Structure 1
Amino acid sequence: MSETPVTLGVDLGTSGVKVVALDDAGRLVAEAGRSYPLLTPRPGWTEQRPQDWVAGALEALRELTGKLATMNALPVALGLSGQMHGLVALDAHGEVVRPAPLWNDQRTGQAVAWIEERIPRADLIARTGNRAVTGFQLPKLVWLRETEGEAFARTRHALLPKDYLGYVLTGEMRSEPSDASGVGALNLAKRGWDADLLSVLDLNRALFPEVVPSTAVIGTLRAELTGATGLPKGLPIVAGGGDNAAAAVALGLTSRRPEVGSVSLGTSGVVFAPLTAPTPDPEGRVHLFAHADGGYHLLGVTLACAGALQWLRDKLAPEVAFDTLLGEAAGVPDGADGVTFLPYLAGERSPLMDPDVRGAWTGLSLAHGRAHFTRALLEGTACALADAFEVMRPLSRVSSLLATGGGARSDLWLGLVSGALSVQVARSESEPGAADGAAILAMPAAGLHANLEAAMEALCPQGTPVAAEPATVARRQHAEALAQLYPQHAPAGQPAS
């Protein structure tokens, strides 16, 4: 009996690594995963040890290949994905210099200010699609130079998390546009590192790896890793994509159909809008990145979404099931009887771009209880996503959104998102993620599809629309609370007309 060819996808997430195997029809054949620790050495700092990523990935791959062997399935290529923006600093021998600061690390406020003192924000946005952002890799390099001079002096290479795993697997240092555009130094029009920008910041262009297309083969599996992983000798490793771009590939979101975007209700909340051309927000309130399909996309990110509900459950109702909390919230009307929740538990990204804002409940009275707290939290996260989408709306052609993430299992929550954003939201019939997208990005190299466009067209999942929930009162209350507590951000918080 002939072996079934499958492509593998590896997603190097924040809480753990996930690996999947897909056949040429996009069906999940097998999966495995491993978790690893998150380090918080100081308030506002988040780090991980790249060595933990590698150990977890190799173990998960070994488990996956064991499963595939029993299914008579043969890996024919492997694609990479992972959390964006992290800094893996390597010395001249390719050894890790220090733990990697992550995408949600907030230590770089002074570095961000220093960068924008030397490069006007408008120029930075025109070149890279983004303002300087605390979580991006570029400010981390500046911070490393100014704060840990000895470590910076040893640093010869700056890699993103998935690209570091690619280096370990192949011995080659490469990146690709969707992840590299989250560094803060990639010229989007040229899809290459901006030498003029780096020169102004006195950073060596040689720190950064070559940028290749997302479907390009960056190398083959190192022979010494075949035993540790169970993977075949010479397996092609494909560049892949940053986690948001890879997840979008798995959903079939392409710049060739810019009217369909996505909304993810995960730990953070993300709105993804494909673009045919690089069109940034002039104020940099949402991100503009390269897409793995060769186009571009806008990304609005609110830092506390399903993570906020997890926080409420853990802190205030640890014995209560999520379904119970959501059921209680469904009985509370639009506006939660006057209660408003600002969901800025970890600062905020889009559109406020302010690491110092904080969450709050307002409008509380003796008449309110747990159901009002939960309803206000759901509304608050939907309104935060709406704030980002209001910036994206005139820049994109999105008229419908496919929903993913743990929060997308709730009809109420998705309905509130639809009502707050005033756009149709559909729940994806499957729940493909970044690992699936990485596997799809590897399919052209494996010969399973002629090109990425053909693969995405063949595997595109369908969605079931949800009924919109009224959110007019919640949007008004959100804008009022934001203006009262953070007047400097009030214009971005105005509800849609």
Structure 2
Amino acid sequence: MDCVVTLDAGTGSGRCVVFDAAGGPLASAQEPFHYRRFTNPDVPFVRGFDLDPRAFWGALARCARTALAALPPGARIRGVIATSQREGCVFLDAADEVLYAGPNLDARAFAEGMEIEQRIGAERLHQVTGHAPPYIFPVARYAWYRKYHDGARVSRLFMLNDWITYRLSGVAVAEPSNAGESMLYDVARREWSAEILETLDIPPGILPEVRPAGTCVGGVTAGAAAETGIPAGTPVFVGGADTESALLGSGVYEPGATGAVLGTTSPVQTVIDHPLIDPRGNLWTSCHVVPDRWVLESNAGDTGDSYRWLLELMYGTADASTYAVAEDAMRNRDSAPSQVYCHFGPVIFNLRELNPLKPAGMLFRFPLLHVDRPLRGEVLHAFFENVAFAIRGNCEQIAAVTGRPIPVLTVSGGMAQSPTLARLLATVLRAPLAVATVVETASLGCAILAAVGAGLHAGLGDAVAAMSRRRPVDPVAGETSEYDDRYHRWREVYGKLTAWML
């Protein structure tokens, strides 16, 4: 049985999933990541996060050994490939020692990001990179490192998935989807931006050669084999950023197709065949993991993490059984129209008008609360409505820029497995959903790339057809008008809260 090994460094955890040529998961293992968190006293709402590179790599290596030990007899590993969270990066010196490692959460370089905007201009930065503002991106972190440390020591700058590829193969490469998350990359030209590098005096030599996702760059080294259990010489393929990989894993790669990855955060991306830049400078433009494809992104922000926090408040834990209990509570709630509105967690993407002091919470008809107190199911359902409303708002932002509606939304990720949320989303959007049946679609998307590179499928279309599966979810008949009204009420309050401060 032919199979491919995937390593996935997400925001909250690392995992290894092994897939067969039909896209079936054969074995998997997962470990949480832990970060050191700190606050800048000069800017209290800015948080810094340090990633321990030894612990990070150690977790991925253990996951690989555990997953490979669980493979059925006769499994033949045809390749290994890595995906990771976006914006996370690593700086190495000439001896490959890690000088800096930070996840996508690290905002320590907020001030340096503002300085970069002043030097290049916010509009020009967005035109070149497709992204803005630069506060959490590697371009700002490199400027921060050079300000407070010896920048001359930095020999290589890797995005996290490319660093994993380097740890596996010893070959320094980058790929377009996560290179674009550095804000050092020209998203239209698909190359490192000479303009940005020259303006900021960043040496081009620290940036790896860019190769297409799915390219074989070499084999697993003896050292990496000893650490991970993946046989030495196993072909190593270039992976991609987790969001774009998840799109591919859920079958979203043709122009006009749109997907939402409902995980820790919930990016919404539509596939385009040219690098369309939002003229308002709000939405992001990135390279897909598929050649000659780009994506236009709006983002609903903190969804999965907020839901986990809510479950921990209500039930004291957020393990798998808690999610099932919460689903039952929502299914058994009173079917009468809810009077609860939720306003925390998800957002309608607009980083330029980000208000870190914006109030949030649950809204009730307070004078009647003593006779009509909502139960857990109603509060949880209100949170899911909040997610669905935010996804709709982000879809509307994308449609306004592309000039075309979104007839079907493909959803993937852990939260997409909730029947309640899937049904709500379809009803709020007034459009059918296609729900990916494999939860780890970022891993699956990379497995599709590796399967094509290893010759297990003739081409990308064949691989997607063989390995990716989705189930349809239709809007609930008779409820779309009610949710239209609730959505517009929610938007009205959302707009007012955005202008308030606590």
Q: TM-score, normalised by structure 2?
A: 0.88
User: Using a 3 Å threshold, how does the CA distance of structure 1 residues 370 and 206 change in structure 2: closer, same or farther?
Assistant: farther
Counterpart-to-counterpart distance in 2, 1:223 and 1:37: 28
Contact 1:178 1:242 in 2 (8 A): yes
Q: Residue 54 of structure 1 corresponds to which residue in structure 2? A: 57
CA distance in 1, matches of 2:120, 2:428: 36
Deviations 1:112-151 (A, max 9, x none): 32222122222222211122243322222222233x234x
Confirm whether residue 387 of structure 1 aligns to residue 393 of structure 2: yes
In the alignment, the residues of structure 2 paired with residue 237 and residue 48 of structure 1 have an alpha-carbon distance, to the nearest angstrom, of 24
| Cα distance, 1:243–1:335 mapped onto 2, change above 3 Å | farther
Q: Does 1:479 align with 2:487?
A: no
Relative distance call for 1:180 and 1:379 in structure 2 (3 A) is same
- Which residue identity lines up with residue 257 of structure 2 in the other structure? V
1:93 matched residue in structure 2: 95
Q: Pick one of 429, 432, 439 that aligns with 1:431.
A: 439
1:113 aligned residue: 114
Does structure 1 conserve the Cα–Cα contact (< 8 Å) formed by 2:176 and 2:213? Answer: yes
The reply to whether residue 440 of structure 1 matches residue 448 of structure 2 is yes
Checking the alignment, whether the CA contact within 8 Å between 2:360 and 2:497 is kept in structure 1 is: no
Q: Where does residue 458 of structure 2 map in the other structure?
A: 450
Cα 1:124–1:429 change in 2 (3 A) is same
* Matched residue, 1:13: 10
Q: Find the counterpart in structure 2 of residue 369 from structure 1.
A: 374
Partner of 1:302: 300
CA distance in 2, matches of 1:33, 1:174: 26
Name the residue aligned to 2:165: 166
Deviates further, 418-427 or 283-292: 418-427
Distance 2:251 2:462 in 1: 10
Secondary structure at the aligned position of 1:270 is classed as strand
1:196 aligns with 2:208: no
| Greater mean deviation of Cα atoms: 427-436 or 240-249 | 427-436
Which secondary structure state, in structure 1, belongs to the residue aligned with residue 182 of structure 2?
Answer: coil
State how far apart, in whole Å, the 2-side matches of 1:173 and 1:319 are.
42
Aligned partner letter, 1:477? R
Q: Which moved more, 1:364-373 or 1:124-133?
A: 364-373
Give the distance between the partners of 1:334 and 1:187, measured in 2 at CA: 52
Superposition deviation, residue 308 in structure 1: 1.5
Tell me if the contact between 1:286 and 1:388 (Cα under 8 Å) persists in the aligned partners. Answer: no
Residue 96 (structure 1) shift: 0.5
- Residues 65-144 of structure 1: pairs in structure 2 closer than 5 A: 65-68=68-71, 70-98=72-100, 100-144=101-145
| Contact 1:187–1:194, Cα closer than 8 Å, also in 2 | yes
Asked if the contact 2:250–2:469 (Cα under 8 Å) also holds between the matched residues in 1, the reply is yes
Q: Which runs of 5+ in 1 are unaligned?
A: 490-497
Aligned twin of 1:292? 289
Partner amino acid, structure 2, of 1:380: N
Q: Give distance in 1, aligned partners of 2:336 and 2:267.
A: 23
Deviations 1:428-462 (A, max 9, x none): 23334211222211112211122333312332313
Q: What is the count of residue pairs matched by the alignment?
A: 477
Aligned to 2:48: 45
In the TM superposition, residue 265 of structure 1 has moved relative to its aligned partner by 2.3
Q: Percent identity?
A: 24
Match for 1:313 among 303, 311, 314?
Answer: 311
Q: Which residue of 2 aligns with 1:180?
A: 179
The residue that corresponds to 2:32 in the other structure is: 35
User: What do the CA deviations read for 1:316-356 (whole angstroms, capped 9, x no partner)?
Assistant: 4427944444444454679731x3322248xx682345261
Partners of 1:296 and 1:192 lie apart in 2 by 14
Counterpart for residue 43 of structure 2: none
Mapped to 2, the partners of 1:390 and 1:284 lie a distance apart of 16
Which amino acid in 2 is paired with 1:311? W
Does the 8 Å contact 1:302/1:349 carry over to 2? yes
Q: Determine if contact 1:84/1:242 at 8 Å carries over to the other structure.
A: yes
Q: How many Å apart are 1:486 and its aligned residue? A: 1.8
Q: 2:262 aligns with which of 261, 265, 283?
A: 265
Distance 1:355 1:240, change over 3 A: farther
The secondary structure found in structure 2 opposite 1:336 is coil
Indicate the SS of the match to 1:458: helix
- Counterpart AA for 2:224: L
Which region of structure 1 is more displaced relative to structure 2, 132-141 or 231-240?
Answer: 132-141
> What is the deviation of 1:218?
2.3
Distance 2:137 2:23 in 1: 32
Q: Which amino acid aligns with 1:245?
A: E
Contact kept? 2:247, 2:261, Cα under 8 Å: no
Moved more, 121-130 or 212-221: 121-130
Displacement of 1:187 in angstroms is 0.7
Q: Secondary structure at the match of 1:408?
A: helix
C-alpha distance in structure 2 between counterparts of 1:319 and 1:88, whole Å: 33
